[in-house]
């Protein structure tokens, strides 16, 4: 059991060990319910549990880095269609050393 305190405005801080154990992150919403022996806090299930990896700090850091790279122009061309993308790949393959062009 972990002790915490109700502060000004009815705020409660969940200690780090509880947040980690429950997989909670800054900004997560919690549902609060009065039950017979107290108050139950439950993470709001707004995210698909199978997509939890996306919300890990490591993945979110990578997302931020991609946005920085995009803003700095560190990406190659953007294609408007799959056909346009495949055409560019074929052109590159035709100019690359190796066994020969890519066939459909």
Of the candidates 30, 32, 55, 53, the residue with the CA atom closest to the CA atom of residue 43: 30
How many Cβ atoms from other residues are within 10 Å of residue 18's Cβ? 13
pLDDT of residue 73: 87
For the entire predicted model, the pTM comes to 0.41
Q: Would you state the pLDDT for residue 104? A: 63
CA angle 20, 13, 41 (to 5 degrees): 70
What pLDDT shows up at residue 47? 66
pLDDT tens track of the chain, all 104 residues? 888 899 999 999 999 999 888 888 888 889 999 999 999 998 887 667 788 788 788 998 999 999 899 889 888 888 999 999 999 999 988 887 776 666 66
Predicted local confidence at residue 20, as pLDDT: 87
Please tell me the predicted confidence (pLDDT) of residue 8.
Answer: 92
């Amino acid at each position: 059991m972990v002790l915490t305190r109700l502060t000004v405005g009815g705020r409660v801080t969940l200690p780090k060990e509880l947040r980690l154990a429950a997989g909670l992150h800054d900004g997560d919403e919690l549902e609060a319910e009065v039950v017979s022996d107290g108050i139950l806090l439950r993470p709001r299930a707004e995210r698909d549990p199978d997509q939890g990896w996306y919300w890990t700090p490591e993945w979110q850091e990578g997302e931020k880095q991609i946005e920085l790279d995009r803003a700095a122009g560190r990406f190659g061309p953007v294609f408007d269609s799959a056909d346009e993308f495949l055409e560019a790949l074929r052109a590159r393959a035709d100019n690359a050393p190796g066994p020969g062009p890519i066939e459909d």
